[in-house]
Amino acid sequence: MDCCESLASPATSRRALLLGGASFAAWAYLPKFARAADGRDPRLIVVILRGALDGLATVAPVGDPDYAGLHGSIALTPGGPHAALMLDSLFALHPAMPEFARMYRQKNAAVIHAVATPYRDRSHFDGQDVLESGFAGPGRVQSGWLNRALEALPRGERVSSGLAVGPTTPLVLRGAAPTVGWSPVALPQAADDTAMRLLELYQHRDPALASALSQGLQLEKAAQGDDMKPKPGTNNTGAMRLVARGAAKLMSADDGPRIAALAFDGWDTHANEGGPVGRLAQLLSGLDGALAEFESGLGERWRDTIVVVATEFGRTARINGTEGTDHGTGTIALLAGGAVNGGRVISDWPGLKPADLYQGRDLAPTTDLRAVIKGVLRDHLGLAERVLADTVFPDSAATRPLRGLLA
């Protein structure tokens, strides 16, 4: 679904075709949630890592005596040329994430370990459905928990509040609340002269669409620039940074979106995961760079920002025969931003002894991911616990929001 479908307007669909897939027509129609009583103007960014992140390789329990034997050749160590970055006496961060480590030291980042959604069957498709829909099982709805959270926010000035980054809107942001989409790498955009002719045409035939188009052109101009042009040889790591850079530009504006969702693919590391260097290291470097782009691009807005990084499930505690890991259960969630009460690994650590592993193979989850997200939505955006339990994450009253996640 593209951004215009949530508006269900033939005119906006026509506009999307005319502009060759550029997706920003909804910009003029989106409500912003009211500012908090204390004058804060919070931003929330949800980053979905599709493919199942190896939480034990990203934030490694190097102090657990069973970790090194299970993760074998790809296990992180606190010493050596590619030393893991110690977070506390038990956990160490992958060396490919120095920016996150800096934020952690500055108490602007936190890790929640041994976390999982309610899903347990290890299918990427169904796991992502549960992660993004907010329901306890797959195939329940065609809307996402973040869109339902948007719908529950009080309405303020008529400026944008939801931004879907990428060629398609992630499920987490689909639903009745209107959203706007932006993708940095898409079909060639219409020339300025063509766009102006279309604007002049619709000012006479469809004033509402003309207003949307005008706002959309301003959005695209704000997001783009010389620093948004892919350099020769740009890889997945560089692409993550470009996506974050453009989204941050849009969200830093006074009339820009306050809430955004984006997804990074490719985290299914069945083979050649690589330990401190290799495939996972490249992916984590891209994620680390994206977080740094959000921080620098949001500027003074960073102090009221929370970035939530989540994945559909974890990976096996023991490596396989191809130096990778298979589909698992428990993993990590990451929080970053100036509004985070950071410098902590939050975990009811289950241990990695054979008897402690989930089904004898996976890190056992001890924290429900919904509790993490509920804590952010309640304390950062002001959503009531009843709304979170009944609407945003239906039938989840037994899963209470985590407290103390905000500074």
> Within a domain: residue 210?
no
Parent domain of 328:
31-185+230-392
> Within a domain: residue 124?
yes
> Within a domain: residue 224?
no
> Within a domain: residue 11?
no
For the stretch 31-87, pLDDT in tens is 455 555 567 889 999 999 999 999 999 999 999 999 999 999 999 998 877 899 999
Residue with tokens 């955006």: 381
For the stretch 248-307, pLDDT in tens is 999 998 888 899 999 999 999 999 998 888 899 999 999 999 999 999 999 999 999 999
Distance CA 194, CA 48 (A): 35
pLDDT tier at 89, thresholds 50, 70, 90: very high
Contact 400, 371 (CB under 8 A): yes
- Lowest-confidence region among 17-31, 122-136, 155-169, 338-352: 17-31
Indicate if the pLDDT at residue 366 is higher than 80. yes
Smallest Cα–Cα separation from 305: which of 106, 103, 33, 43?
43
> Within a domain: residue 139?
yes
Cα dihedral 269/274/277/280 (nearest 10): 10
Residue 370, pLDDT score: 98
Domain count, the chain: 1
**Residue 79 gets which letter from DSSP?**
S
For the stretch 133-180, pLDDT in tens is 999 999 878 899 999 999 998 766 544 458 888 888 899 999 988 888
Distance CA 103, CA 107 (A): 6
- The tokens of 41 are what? 């103007």
Indicate if the pLDDT at residue 17 is higher than 80. no
> Within a domain: residue 368?
yes
> Within a domain: residue 64?
yes
pTM: 0.83
Residue 379, domain CATH: 3.40.720.10
Give the pLDDT mean for 379-388: 96
Residue 275, pLDDT score: 80
Q: What is the mean pLDDT of the chain?
A: 83
> Within a domain: residue 18?
no
